[in-house]
Amino acid sequence: MKIYFPFYLISFTCFITFNSITAQQSKLSQNVNHTTEYIASRSLSTNNYETGDLRFIDSIFCEAVRFTGYDYSEALLALTFACIPYREVPIQIPIIGVILDYPLVSADEKTFNIKNDNLPRYLYYDSPQNDYGDKDKSAHFFGSAYLSHASSIFDLGNLIGYFVEVFEAEFKVQSSIDNRDMQTNKLGQLFGSMLKVNAHVRPSHVLIQQTLFYVRPTQ
Protein backbone atom coordinates (compact mmCIF):
# COMPACT_ATOMS: atom_id res chain seq x y z
CA MET A 1 0.00 0.00 0.00
CA LYS A 2 1.37 3.39 -0.98
CA ILE A 3 1.19 5.99 1.76
CA TYR A 4 0.91 9.59 0.64
CA PHE A 5 2.65 12.32 2.53
CA PRO A 6 0.13 15.12 3.23
CA PHE A 7 0.52 17.42 0.25
CA TYR A 8 -0.84 20.44 2.09
CA LEU A 9 2.36 20.78 4.09
CA ILE A 10 4.58 20.97 1.03
CA SER A 11 2.07 23.05 -0.92
CA PHE A 12 1.75 25.59 1.87
CA THR A 13 5.51 25.72 2.28
CA CYS A 14 5.94 26.39 -1.43
CA PHE A 15 3.07 28.88 -1.44
CA ILE A 16 4.50 31.17 1.21
CA THR A 17 8.02 30.99 -0.20
CA PHE A 18 7.26 30.94 -3.94
CA ASN A 19 9.41 33.94 -4.82
CA SER A 20 12.44 32.82 -2.83
CA ILE A 21 12.23 29.24 -4.11
CA THR A 22 11.95 30.19 -7.77
CA ALA A 23 14.81 32.64 -7.42
CA GLN A 24 17.02 30.19 -5.55
CA GLN A 25 15.97 26.82 -6.95
CA SER A 26 19.53 25.66 -7.45
CA LYS A 27 20.41 26.64 -3.89
CA LEU A 28 17.46 24.72 -2.48
CA SER A 29 18.37 21.71 -4.60
CA GLN A 30 21.95 21.82 -3.33
CA ASN A 31 20.73 21.96 0.26
CA VAL A 32 18.29 19.10 -0.26
CA ASN A 33 20.88 16.98 -2.08
CA HIS A 34 23.48 17.48 0.64
CA THR A 35 21.04 16.69 3.43
CA THR A 36 19.79 13.61 1.57
CA GLU A 37 23.36 12.39 1.07
CA TYR A 38 24.05 12.92 4.76
CA ILE A 39 21.06 10.80 5.75
CA ALA A 40 22.03 8.16 3.18
CA SER A 41 25.53 7.97 4.65
CA ARG A 42 24.25 6.82 8.04
CA SER A 43 26.07 3.72 9.21
CA LEU A 44 23.59 1.20 10.53
CA SER A 45 26.37 -0.73 12.19
CA THR A 46 27.09 2.14 14.57
CA ASN A 47 23.56 3.49 15.04
CA ASN A 48 20.93 1.35 16.67
CA TYR A 49 17.47 2.46 15.54
CA GLU A 50 15.75 1.73 18.80
CA THR A 51 18.11 3.97 20.79
CA GLY A 52 19.65 6.26 18.20
CA ASP A 53 16.89 7.80 16.09
CA LEU A 54 16.41 10.87 18.26
CA ARG A 55 20.16 11.46 18.28
CA PHE A 56 20.27 10.96 14.54
CA ILE A 57 17.50 13.48 13.82
CA ASP A 58 19.50 15.98 15.90
CA SER A 59 22.55 15.14 13.80
CA ILE A 60 20.64 15.65 10.54
CA PHE A 61 19.39 19.01 11.77
CA CYS A 62 22.85 20.19 12.86
CA GLU A 63 24.40 19.17 9.54
CA ALA A 64 21.72 21.01 7.54
CA VAL A 65 22.21 24.12 9.67
CA ARG A 66 25.97 23.96 9.20
CA PHE A 67 25.70 23.45 5.42
CA THR A 68 23.31 26.38 4.99
CA GLY A 69 25.62 28.73 6.87
CA TYR A 70 23.42 28.72 9.98
CA ASP A 71 20.41 30.00 8.09
CA TYR A 72 17.77 28.15 10.08
CA SER A 73 14.90 28.83 7.70
CA GLU A 74 16.86 27.47 4.74
CA ALA A 75 17.96 24.48 6.78
CA LEU A 76 14.41 23.64 7.88
CA LEU A 77 13.11 23.95 4.33
CA ALA A 78 15.84 21.65 3.02
CA LEU A 79 15.16 19.18 5.83
CA THR A 80 11.47 19.11 4.95
CA PHE A 81 12.09 18.05 1.36
CA ALA A 82 15.02 15.78 2.19
CA CYS A 83 12.98 13.83 4.75
CA ILE A 84 9.93 13.22 2.57
CA PRO A 85 10.00 9.52 1.64
CA TYR A 86 8.36 10.17 -1.76
CA ARG A 87 9.58 11.81 -4.96
CA GLU A 88 6.13 13.02 -6.01
CA VAL A 89 2.64 13.43 -4.62
CA PRO A 90 -0.68 12.96 -6.45
CA ILE A 91 -3.28 15.72 -6.62
CA GLN A 92 -6.65 15.69 -8.32
CA ILE A 93 -7.52 18.92 -10.11
CA PRO A 94 -11.07 20.09 -9.35
CA ILE A 95 -13.82 20.04 -12.01
CA ILE A 96 -11.80 18.18 -14.65
CA GLY A 97 -10.82 15.44 -12.20
CA VAL A 98 -7.37 14.87 -13.69
CA ILE A 99 -4.82 13.40 -11.27
CA LEU A 100 -1.33 14.83 -11.58
CA ASP A 101 1.85 13.56 -9.95
CA TYR A 102 3.48 16.68 -8.55
CA PRO A 103 7.29 16.28 -8.46
CA LEU A 104 9.15 17.31 -5.33
CA VAL A 105 12.72 18.52 -4.98
CA SER A 106 14.76 15.38 -4.37
CA ALA A 107 18.14 13.75 -4.91
CA ASP A 108 18.96 11.14 -7.55
CA GLU A 109 16.99 7.91 -7.28
CA LYS A 110 19.79 5.76 -5.84
CA THR A 111 20.67 8.22 -3.07
CA PHE A 112 16.98 8.87 -2.47
CA ASN A 113 16.25 5.18 -1.90
CA ILE A 114 19.19 4.72 0.46
CA LYS A 115 18.10 7.83 2.34
CA ASN A 116 14.62 6.35 2.76
CA ASP A 117 16.12 3.22 4.30
CA ASN A 118 18.02 5.36 6.81
CA LEU A 119 15.32 7.86 7.80
CA PRO A 120 14.63 7.98 11.56
CA ARG A 121 11.69 5.67 12.19
CA TYR A 122 11.39 5.28 15.98
CA LEU A 123 10.84 8.82 17.23
CA TYR A 124 8.15 8.07 19.80
CA TYR A 125 7.48 5.42 22.41
CA ASP A 126 4.53 4.20 20.30
CA SER A 127 6.21 4.30 16.90
CA PRO A 128 5.11 1.23 14.88
CA GLN A 129 7.66 -1.54 15.32
CA ASN A 130 8.05 -2.35 11.64
CA ASP A 131 10.31 -1.42 8.74
CA TYR A 132 8.44 1.82 8.07
CA GLY A 133 7.77 3.01 11.60
CA ASP A 134 7.41 6.79 11.68
CA LYS A 135 9.56 7.62 8.67
CA ASP A 136 7.12 10.28 7.47
CA LYS A 137 7.12 12.11 10.80
CA SER A 138 10.48 13.86 10.26
CA ALA A 139 9.10 15.71 7.24
CA HIS A 140 5.95 16.64 9.18
CA PHE A 141 8.10 17.93 12.03
CA PHE A 142 10.55 19.97 9.98
CA GLY A 143 7.86 21.29 7.63
CA SER A 144 5.81 22.64 10.51
CA ALA A 145 8.97 23.99 12.15
CA TYR A 146 9.81 25.85 8.95
CA LEU A 147 6.36 27.44 8.74
CA SER A 148 6.60 28.54 12.34
CA HIS A 149 10.19 29.77 12.20
CA ALA A 150 9.94 31.55 8.83
CA SER A 151 7.06 33.76 9.93
CA SER A 152 8.21 37.14 11.20
CA ILE A 153 4.91 38.88 11.86
CA PHE A 154 2.74 36.08 13.23
CA ASP A 155 2.98 32.35 13.54
CA LEU A 156 2.08 30.85 10.15
CA GLY A 157 2.05 27.44 11.75
CA ASN A 158 -1.33 28.27 13.24
CA LEU A 159 -2.78 28.59 9.73
CA ILE A 160 -2.04 25.00 8.78
CA GLY A 161 -5.37 23.67 10.01
CA TYR A 162 -7.33 26.22 8.02
CA PHE A 163 -5.27 25.64 4.88
CA VAL A 164 -5.80 21.87 5.09
CA GLU A 165 -9.58 22.23 4.94
CA VAL A 166 -9.54 24.62 1.99
CA PHE A 167 -6.84 22.87 -0.02
CA GLU A 168 -8.16 19.35 0.40
CA ALA A 169 -11.71 20.44 -0.36
CA GLU A 170 -10.67 22.14 -3.59
CA PHE A 171 -7.94 19.82 -4.85
CA LYS A 172 -9.06 16.48 -3.38
CA VAL A 173 -5.59 15.62 -2.17
CA GLN A 174 -4.99 11.94 -1.59
CA SER A 175 -3.65 11.93 1.93
CA SER A 176 -4.17 10.31 5.27
CA ILE A 177 -3.84 12.51 8.32
CA ASP A 178 -4.15 10.98 11.76
CA ASN A 179 -3.81 12.31 15.26
CA ARG A 180 -0.14 11.39 15.42
CA ASP A 181 0.52 13.40 12.26
CA MET A 182 -1.16 16.44 13.77
CA GLN A 183 0.66 15.90 17.05
CA THR A 184 3.97 15.89 15.18
CA ASN A 185 2.96 19.07 13.35
CA LYS A 186 2.30 20.75 16.69
CA LEU A 187 5.67 19.68 18.05
CA GLY A 188 7.35 20.95 14.88
CA GLN A 189 5.56 24.26 15.27
CA LEU A 190 6.84 24.48 18.84
CA PHE A 191 10.37 23.68 17.70
CA GLY A 192 10.29 26.42 15.07
CA SER A 193 9.08 28.94 17.63
CA MET A 194 11.75 27.93 20.12
CA LEU A 195 14.49 28.32 17.50
CA LYS A 196 13.61 31.98 17.21
CA VAL A 197 14.80 32.59 20.76
CA ASN A 198 17.21 29.72 21.38
CA ALA A 199 19.55 28.51 18.64
CA HIS A 200 20.74 25.66 20.86
CA VAL A 201 17.42 23.80 20.96
CA ARG A 202 17.42 20.46 19.17
CA PRO A 203 14.60 18.38 17.64
CA SER A 204 14.97 15.69 20.31
CA HIS A 205 14.34 18.27 23.05
CA VAL A 206 10.84 18.73 21.64
CA LEU A 207 10.05 15.29 20.24
CA ILE A 208 10.77 13.64 23.60
CA GLN A 209 7.80 15.51 25.05
CA GLN A 210 5.43 13.13 23.30
CA THR A 211 6.96 10.25 25.24
CA LEU A 212 7.28 12.12 28.53
CA PHE A 213 3.59 12.98 28.39
CA TYR A 214 2.79 9.30 28.91
CA VAL A 215 5.35 8.72 31.64
CA ARG A 216 3.79 8.24 35.06
CA PRO A 217 5.80 8.24 38.29
CA THR A 218 5.77 5.01 40.25
CA GLN A 219 6.08 4.49 43.98
Domain ranges of the chain: 7-212
This prediction has a pTM of 0.76
Assess whether pLDDT exceeds 50 at residue 179.
Answer: yes
Residue 197 CB: number of other CB atoms within 10 A?
7
Instruction: Please list the alpha-helical segments (H only) found in the chain.
Output: 7-16, 18-23, 25-40, 49-67, 72-83, 109-118, 137-150, 160-171, 179-195, 203-212
Task: Work out the percent of the chain whose per-residue pLDDT is above 70.
Answer: 66
pLDDT at 163 over 50: no
Cβ-based neighbour number of residue 117 at 10 Å: 14
Name residues whose C-beta falls within 8 Å of residue 65's C-beta, 6 or more positions apart in sequence.
71, 72, 75
Q: Is the dihedral of CA 197, 21, 35, 179 positive or negative?
A: positive
Q: Is the dihedral of CA 52, 4, 61, 194 positive or negative?
A: negative
Distance CA 78, CA 80 (A): 5
Q: Tell me the C-alpha distance between 211 and 124, whole Å.
A: 6
Cα 99–Cα 105–Cα 107 angle in degrees, nearest 5: 120
Under the banding of pLDDT at 50, 70 and 90, the label for residue 152 is low
pLDDT, mean over the chain = 76
Specify the pLDDT at position 167. 44
Q: Of 23 and 128, which is predicted with more confidence?
A: 128
Strand partners, 101: 90
* pLDDT confidence band for 201 (50 / 70 / 90): very high
Range with the poorest average pLDDT among 11-15, 36-40, 134-138, 194-198:
11-15
**What pLDDT does residue 188 have?**
93
Residue 2 buriedness (CB in 10 A; 0-12 / 13-18 / 19+): exposed
- Whether residue 84 is predicted with pLDDT greater than 60 in this model: the reply is yes
